[in-house]
């Protein structure tokens, strides 16, 4: 019985931890499948977390907050597109620049709006759904935030978009062989721009989940490298939407487990535990090596003569 | 009735004028050759028609009305299709997916239905393809068919083929030509870019010849012959540089013994290749593009490893050598792709010493004066039109090739590996490169010349080997090697 | 009639110098928008941003204090990028250098500075180098993309630092997450009494001069430049690409490690979680701004140091959030990157 409770709690926590990772990774999936590595993800998630929180706090509506976060992420994606697609600058540096910019802007705006109060401002966050009655043993698993369920549902949706729709076909084409796509009459710039914009919105929702559902407040360390975890996850998932689920659950599970064990009083060097996902990714990257399905045109700006 | 009229087309790339007021017209239902040497501006002109380049000046009319073509999708809408040399297919997608790539329409795509339509089109146009196949699993000839079908599938009335035979074996060429003639009967107008006179004579109705970006003229095939066309193309019947007489050959300097190697995709590209090159001779290696020349050149240059076999430069075993070992063994290399194998952003002077830095340094510090002197001397000797401190990428193709020659040959290599050394060069530069190679031979170097240009091979070589499908089909002394014999061997029949 | 055309061709060399200079006013124009949103006057703000810090002796010195680690991370990143190795991990290598220096400083007790200081320098360099090692080896041996691995190594070292500070190195007296103080003999000497300006800036200047000399004058420099510009071309010329790149990657890591050692030995005297807070990422900005040229890096590091100091002045005087500094810095990076595209074009007169 006690073990069942432990397990139920673990699964529930895993889903919660995995949610922002799922959004972020799906967002990055759009970008990378179209041929752009978006290292702006860390900052875009931070921006989403801040804008969602601030807009909800100012407007009093969580949904307006979420919408604002989506728009902010979209703009961050468009900025990345301007730099890396239109101007064709180095994607690494442009992405990191965007992370620095969006982080700086969020912090600046936070101070402007909320001042330097000692007590961190908070909002009434999204409630958990109550699908099963509280007393039911599985309630902690089923009674999650709506955003968690949407995130899980997005995985097959994204798979379907990429593999079964015209837009998805176009994304795959510009990510694999932009010259061919161009010759076929596709607008490479427009498709990559759209992919980055969608990607940015998803990343921002991932960030907004933390402030608007899980925590109800905004702290400076809120993203804490989750964006980089998503960069790792995408490699782990071999650029396939369905694998994002397994990756996010495994990574989420490791974190949830160490949190559980810690609260149960196990003396663990949890900080080292937290590094496990990164180490695993580096190993995965090493093993996968040349067999990976990384899009062929990843990191290559396209320019017609 | 004109399907296409292009008037006064001008296209510049920085200092190079690729098309200089070129006029071109294509009649409905004709196969029209666009003939010229490498770099004459044929591809540029057609890339403008297809919207891949923008003309700086000039006008385009389709079916008599002026049009603006900004991108390939405009061209496709106007009924123009193009099959480029580098196929524009996405390898990870299926044939059917590639077919509908540029289409707009419903949000979702019904692959089953598309595959059915593609299969029908394939039957109707007589261009056999398998709609379900992934492009990356197809052979070069099959990919070309997909490209052609793709254009027809999009209702192309005008089909541009850019050197379609360069990648094909003779049997495939036959299939292609039959298909084209059949499509012509159905009213298709075709632009056939080529530098092979025989093909042009065989299949085309009219021919437009370009030379150095300028229009030489347009003639009916019925009113012309091989010799005249050759004249129009190069401005004279033959290149000025040919091998003068026979020479006493020395001992074997480069020995290749049963080497095997794979291409980028991991497929067998060289099969038990054995060759010997002697001091004071040019051994020409003829063959159709893509029969293992690139890999053989890469192996001998030290940029690719062999899976088995032996390579010797004199007594030095280079079987598992990397580039630095190859340099040290006195092998001079003129690579196929000079852009990739020089460093465009470094200066001419720096490029000229890049493979022999040790001679220009003292205690690890570069001797700037010596580097400068070396550059100025070589610029003079090799007649390079550039300053020592110019960034290399600002040079023209011919001057870049001269930098490569100067760097390589000034070190008096005992072996010279020259791959497609005159590709993309103008006539003057071509002559220069060819006479330089002959000088090396006369100096006593063992020269291996890999070229897809049969005229070049025959003009320069003492002995001629032919490669086909990664195998050496035979080696003939120059006196016995007729174009006909070599042609057969290049198509895969043994000597 | 004369017409002008824009065409794709390398712009003249002076554009390379002009672009970063042009980027500065463009950046200030863009960022003045958010200053206005905060209700401040952009001109006053930029006066306090750029001029005030240099007007007072204390704050002018502070500019150099802030620049010290930036000179080193900028140099580290520029050196790596120049050699074709995309080291995004200066941040992590800085932490590793700081950890190593802290270790040296807390183990070497009662040593004279003549031993202590070189030991700190070597320790910092070694720490950064070791942290750069896995990514570098994976890159040259197995072709694993260094951008992702160096980035992930940054995240790992943060966890390691936090582990050390909450575990073995937790201050036993205060229970704060900060390491014990380093010994007196391992502290970098002050250059100006009663200021925070320390010996680290001399190290930084020496490092910049060395890498400038190596890049522009030595055969190793020519090799790494060739690799940075065209791996294929360099390899064809017989240059040992992997070996050269490995050395570049490790030296770059070492230089970033020196920045960490400097922060420990010259500023904080113990290890804390927030020892860097983005100095390594700023290195990328600085390297880009300086056009990967060591002397350019020197100037941009001082400029970013000025921005960091100015941001504090602005915050203190006008109440504009200090994060304006981050916004200006990152905008400057993105604007410079965008303007560098101009390098590929030139305007030509046609008759």
Quote the mean pLDDT of chain C. 91
Residue pointed to by tokens 């400097």: C262
Enumerate residues 6+ apart whose C-beta is below 8 A from A291: none
B72 and A184 within 8 Å at the Cβ level: the answer is: yes
Name every chain B residue with its beta carbon within 8 A of the beta carbon of C217. 365-366
Smallest CA–CA separation between C301 and chain B, in Å? 26
Greater model confidence, A1 or C240: C240
Confidence (pLDDT) at B467? 92
CATH level 3 topology of B2-234: Rossmann fold (3.40.50)
Nearest CB partner across the interface for B361, out of C219, C234, C238: C219
CATH class of the region B252-330+413-490: alpha beta
In the numeric block, which tokens belong to residue B407? Answer: 């760097």
| B323/C230 CB distance under 8 A | no
* pLDDT at residue B237 in the model: 41
Q: Which of B95-109, C64-78, C337-351 has the lowest mean pLDDT?
A: C337-351
What is residue A130's predicted lDDT score, i.e. its pLDDT? 83
Which of B357, B390, B417 should one mutate to test binding to chain C, selecting the residue with the greatest count of C CBs within 10 A?
B357
Nearest 5°: phi and psi at A274?
A: -65, -20
Same fold, B2-234 and B252-330+413-490: yes
Residue contact C281–A101, C-beta within 8 A: no
Q: How far is CA B401 from the centre of its chain?
A: 15
Q: Which domains does chain C have, with CATH numbers?
A: 3-350 (1.10.3470)
Contact indicator for B323, B335 with CB cutoff of 8 Å? no
Residue of B nearest to C214 (CA): B365
Q: Does A300 touch chain B (CB under 8 A)?
A: no
Please judge whether A93 and C337 are an interchain contact, meaning their C-beta atoms are less than 8 angstroms apart. Answer: yes
Task: For residue B311, count other CB atoms closer than 10 A to its CB.
Answer: 24
A82-114 pLDDT tens trace: 999 999 998 999 999 999 999 999 999 999 999
Quote the CA–CA distance of B367 and B345 in Å, as a whole number: 20
Shortest CB distance from C163 goes to which of A89, A269, A278?
A269
> pLDDT tens digits for C202-238?
999 999 999 999 999 999 999 999 999 999 999 999 9
DSSP C24-93: HHHHHHHHHHHHHHTT--HHHHHIIIIIHHHHSHHHHHHHHHHHHHHHHHHHHHHHHHHTT-----HHHH
Distance from the Cα of B155 to chain C's closest Cα (Å) equals 35
How far is it, in rounded angstroms, from Cα C204 to Cα C94? 14
B104 interfacial to chain A (CB closer than 8 Å): yes
Give every strand in the sheet of B31-35, ordered side by side: B80-83, B158-162, B189-194, B31-35, B206-211, B214-220
Pair B349, B372: CB distance under 8 Å:
yes
Query: pLDDT-based confidence at C19, cuts 50/70/90?
Result: confident
Calpha distance B186→C144 (Å, rounded): 53
Give the end-to-end CA distance of chain A in Å, rounded to a whole number.
68
- Sheet with B16-27, strands from edge to edge, namely B16-27, B2-13, B57-62, B65-67
Instruction: Say which of B73, B91, B92 has its CB closest to residue A185.
Output: B73
Share of chain A above pLDDT 70, in %: 97
What's the pLDDT at C154? 94
Task: Check CB contact of C102 with chain A, cutoff 8 Å.
Answer: no
Phi, psi of B338 (to 5 degrees): -70, -30
Query: For residue A250, is pLDDT > 90?
Result: no
Q: How far apart are the first and last CA of chain C?
A: 6
Nearest to A227 by CA among A78, A76, A25: A25
Q: Nearest 5°: phi and psi at C45?
A: -60, -50
CB pairs below 8 Å between B and C: how many? 85
Asked whether the beta carbons of residue A173 and residue B101 sit closer than 8 angstroms, the reply is: yes
Q: pLDDT tens digits, chain B, 495 residues: what are they?
A: 899 999 999 998 766 788 999 999 999 999 999 988 766 889 899 999 999 889 999 999 999 999 999 988 899 999 999 998 777 899 899 999 999 888 888 888 888 999 999 999 998 888 888 999 999 888 878 888 899 999 899 889 999 999 888 777 667 788 889 989 999 998 999 999 987 777 888 899 999 999 878 999 999 999 988 778 777 876 544 556 677 766 677 899 999 999 999 887 677 889 999 999 999 999 999 887 778 899 999 999 999 999 999 999 999 999 999 999 999 999 999 998 888 899 988 999 999 999 999 899 988 899 999 999 999 999 998 888 889 998 898 887 778 989 999 999 999 999 999 998 987 676 677 888 899 999 999 999 999 999 887 888 888 999 999 998 899 999 999 888 887 788 778 777 665
- Chain C nearest C-alpha distance from B342 (Å): 5
C-alpha C243, offset from chain centre: 24
Residue B167, min C-alpha distance to chain C (Å): 25
In order, the DSSP letters of A279-303 are HHHHHHHHHHGGG----TTTT----
B76/A176 Cβ within 8 A: no
With vertex at residue A282, the alpha carbon angle to CA A73 and CA C286, rounded to the nearest 5 degrees, is 55
3-state secondary structure of C194: coil
- Cβ of B107 and A165 within 8 Å? yes
Domain ranges of chain B: 2-234, 252-330+413-490
pLDDT digit string, tens, across residues A107-151? 999 999 998 777 778 898 898 888 888 888 888 888 899 999 999
| Residue of chain A with shortest Cα separation from C135 | A282
CB B188 within 8 A of CB B159: yes
Partner residue facing A177 (CB), from B50, B72, B90: B90
What is the model's pLDDT at position A195?
98
B341: nearest CB among C8, C217, C233: C233
**Chain B contact probe: residue of A184, A186, A191, A239 with most B CBs at under 10 A:** A184
Q: How much is the mean pLDDT over chain A? A: 90
Mean predicted confidence (pLDDT) in A152-162: 96
Alpha carbon A6 to chain centroid, angstroms = 27
Q: C229 and chain A: CB distance < 8 Å anywhere?
A: no
Inter-chain touch C239–B358, beta carbons under 8 Å: no
Give the C-alpha separation, A223 to C68, whole Å.
29
Whole-number pLDDT of residue C324: 93
Is C334 in CB contact (< 8 Å) with chain A? yes
DSSP SS3 for B6: strand
A294 at interface of B, judged by CB pairs closer than 8 A:
no
Q: List chains adjacent to chain C, taking adjacency as at least 3 C-beta pairs closer than 8 Å.
A: A, B
Do the Cβ atoms of B367 and B311 come closer than 8 Å?
Answer: no
Tell me if A282 and C152 make a contact (CB, 8 A cut-off). Answer: yes
Closest chain C residue to B335, measured at CA:
C236
What is the pLDDT, as a whole number, of residue A188?
94
Residue C277 φ/ψ region, left for φ over 0, alpha for ψ in the -120 to 50 degree band, beta for the rest? left
pLDDT at residue number C340: 86
The token duo for A13 is 């926590």
Rounded-to-10 torsion of CA A233, A238, A239, A245: -50
């Amino acid at each position: 019985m006690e073990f069942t409770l432990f397990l139920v709690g673990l699964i529930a926590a895993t889903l919660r931890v995995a949610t922002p990772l799922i959004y972020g990774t799906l967002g990055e999936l759009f970008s990378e499948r179209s041929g752009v590595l978006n290292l702006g993800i860390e900052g875009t998630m931070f921006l989403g977390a801040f804008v969602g929180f601030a807009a909800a706090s100012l407007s009093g509506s969580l949904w307006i907050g979420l919408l604002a976060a989506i728009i902010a992420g979209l703009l961050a994606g468009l900025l990345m597109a301007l730099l890396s697609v239109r101007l064709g600058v180095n994607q690494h540096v442009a992405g990191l620049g965007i992370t620095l910019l969006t982080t700086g802007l969020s912090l600046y705006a936070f101070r402007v709006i909320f001042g330097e109060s000692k007590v961190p401002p908070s909002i009434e966050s999204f409630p958990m759904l109550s699908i099963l009655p509280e007393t039911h043993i599985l309630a902690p698993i089923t009674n999650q935030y709506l955003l968690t369920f949407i995130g899980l549902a997005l995985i097959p949706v994204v798979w379907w978009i990429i593999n079964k729709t015209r837009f998805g076909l176009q994304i795959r084409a510009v990510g694999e062989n932009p010259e061919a796509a161009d010759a076929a009459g596709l607008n490479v710039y427009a498709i990559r721009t759209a992919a980055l914009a969608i990607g940015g919105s998803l990343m921002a929702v991932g960030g907004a989940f933390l402030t608007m559902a899980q925590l109800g407040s905004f702290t400076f360390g809120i993203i804490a490298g989750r964006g980089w975890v998503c960069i790792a996850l995408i490699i782990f998932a071999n650029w396939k939407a369905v694998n994002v689920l397994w990756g996010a659950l495994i990574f989420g599970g490791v974190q949830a487990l160490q949190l559980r064990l810690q609260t149960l009083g196990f003396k663990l060097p949890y900080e080292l535990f937290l590094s496990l996902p990164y180490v695993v990714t580096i190993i995965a990257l090493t093993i996968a090596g040349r067999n990976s399905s990384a899009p062929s045109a990843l990191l290559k700006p396209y320019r017609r003569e | 009735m004109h399907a296409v009229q292009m008037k006064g087309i001008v296209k510049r790339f920085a200092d190079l004028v690729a098309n200089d007021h070129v006029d071109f017209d294509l009649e409905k239902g004709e196969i029209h050759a666009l003939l010229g040497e490498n770099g004459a501006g044929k591809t540029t002109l057609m890339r403008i028609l297809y919207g891949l380049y923008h003309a700086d000046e000039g006008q385009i009319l389709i079916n008599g009305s002026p049009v603006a073509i900004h991108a390939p999708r405009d061209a496709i809408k106007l009924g123009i299709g193009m099959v480029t040399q580098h196929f524009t297919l996405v390898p990870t997608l299926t044939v059917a997916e590639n077919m509908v790539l540029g289409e707009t329409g419903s949000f979702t795509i019904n692959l089953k239905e598309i595959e059915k339509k593609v299969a029908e089109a394939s039957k109707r146009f007589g261009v056999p393809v398998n709609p379900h196949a992934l492009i990356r699993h197809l052979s070069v000839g099959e990919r070309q068919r997909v490209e052609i079908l793709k254009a027809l599938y999009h209702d192309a009335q005008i089909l541009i083929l850019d050197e379609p035979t360069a990648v094909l074996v003779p049997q495939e060429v036959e299939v292609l030509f039959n298909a084209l003639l059949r499509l012509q009967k159905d009213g298709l107008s075709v632009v056939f870019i080529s530098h092979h006179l025989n093909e042009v004579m065989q299949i085309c109705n009219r021919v437009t010849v370009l030379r150095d970006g300028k229009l030489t003229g347009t003639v009916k095939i019925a009113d012309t012959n091989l010799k005249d066309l050759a004249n129009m193309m190069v401005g004279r019947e033959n290149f000025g540089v040919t091998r003068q007489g026979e020479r006493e050959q020395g001992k074997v300097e480069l020995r290749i013994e049963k080497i095997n190697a794979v291409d980028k995709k991991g497929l067998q590209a060289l099969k038990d290749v054995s060759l010997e090159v002697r001091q004071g001779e040019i051994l020409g290696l003829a063959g159709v593009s893509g029969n293992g020349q690139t890999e053989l050149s890469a192996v001998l240059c030290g940029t690719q490893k062999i899976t088995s076999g032996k390579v010797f430069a004199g007594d030095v075993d280079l079987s598992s050598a990397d580039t630095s070992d190859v340099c040290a063994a006195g092998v001079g290399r003129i690579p196929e792709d000079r852009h990739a194998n020089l460093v465009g952003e470094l200066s001419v002077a720096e490029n000229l010493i890049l493979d022999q830095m040790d001679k220009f340094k003292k205690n690890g510090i570069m001797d700037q004066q010596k580097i400068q002197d070396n550059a100025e001397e070589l610029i003079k000797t090799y007649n390079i039109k550039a300053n020592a401190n110019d960034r290399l990428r600002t040079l023209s193709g011919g001057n870049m090739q001269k930098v490569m020659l100067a760097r390589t040959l000034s070190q008096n290599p005992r072996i010279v590996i020259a791959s497609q050394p005159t590709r993309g060069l103008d006539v003057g530069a071509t002559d220069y490169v060819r006479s330089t190679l002959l000088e090396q031979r006369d100096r006593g170097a063992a020269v291996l010349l890999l070229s897809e240009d049969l005229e070049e091979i025959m003009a320069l070589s003492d002995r001629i080997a032919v490669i086909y499908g990664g195998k050496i089909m035979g080696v003939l002394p120059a006196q016995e090697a007729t174009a006909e014999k070599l042609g057969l061997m290049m198509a895969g029949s043994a000597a | 009639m004369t017409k002008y055309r824009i065409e794709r061709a390398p712009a003249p060399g002076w554009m390379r110098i002009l672009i970063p200079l042009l980027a500065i006013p463009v950046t200030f124009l863009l960022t003045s928008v958010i200053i206005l949103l905060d209700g401040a006057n952009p001109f006053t703000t930029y006066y306090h941003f750029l001029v005030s810090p240099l007007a007072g002796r204390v704050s002018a010195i502070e500019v150099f204090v802030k620049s010290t680690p930036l000179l080193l991370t900028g140099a580290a990143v520029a050196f790596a990028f120049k050699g074709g190795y995309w080291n995004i991990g200066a941040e992590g290598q800085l932490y590793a250098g700081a950890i190593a220096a802290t270790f040296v400083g807390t183990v070497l007790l009662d040593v004279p500075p003549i031993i202590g200081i070189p030991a700190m320098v070597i320790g910092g360099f070694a720490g950064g180098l070791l942290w750069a090692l896995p990514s570098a080896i994976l890159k040259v041996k197995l072709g694993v993309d260094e951008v992702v691995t160096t980035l992930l190594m940054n995240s790992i070292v943060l966890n390691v630092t936090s582990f050390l500070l909450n575990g073995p190195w937790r201050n036993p007296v205060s229970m704060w997450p900060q390491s014990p103080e380093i010994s007196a003999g391992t502290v970098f000497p002050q250059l100006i009494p009663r200021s925070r300006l320390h010996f680290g800036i001399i190290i930084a200047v020496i490092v910049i001069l060395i890498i400038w000399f190596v890049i522009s004058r030595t055969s190793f420099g020519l090799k790494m430049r060739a690799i940075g510009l065209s791996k294929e071309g360099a390899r064809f010329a017989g240059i040992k690409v992997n070996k050269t790149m490995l050395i570049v990657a490790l030296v770059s890591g070492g230089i970033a490690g020196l920045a960490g050692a400097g922060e420990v030995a010259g500023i904080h005297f113990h290890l804390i979680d927030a020892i860097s807070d983005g100095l390594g990422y700023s290195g990328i900005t600085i390297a880009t701004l300086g056009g990967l040229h060591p002397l350019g890096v020197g100037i941009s590091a001082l400029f970013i140091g000025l921005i960091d100091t100015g941001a504090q002045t602005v915050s203190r005087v006008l109440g504009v959030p200090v994060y304006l500094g981050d916004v200006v810095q990152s905008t400057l990076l993105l604007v410079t990157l965008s303007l560098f595209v101009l390098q590929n074009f030139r305007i030509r007169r046609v008759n």
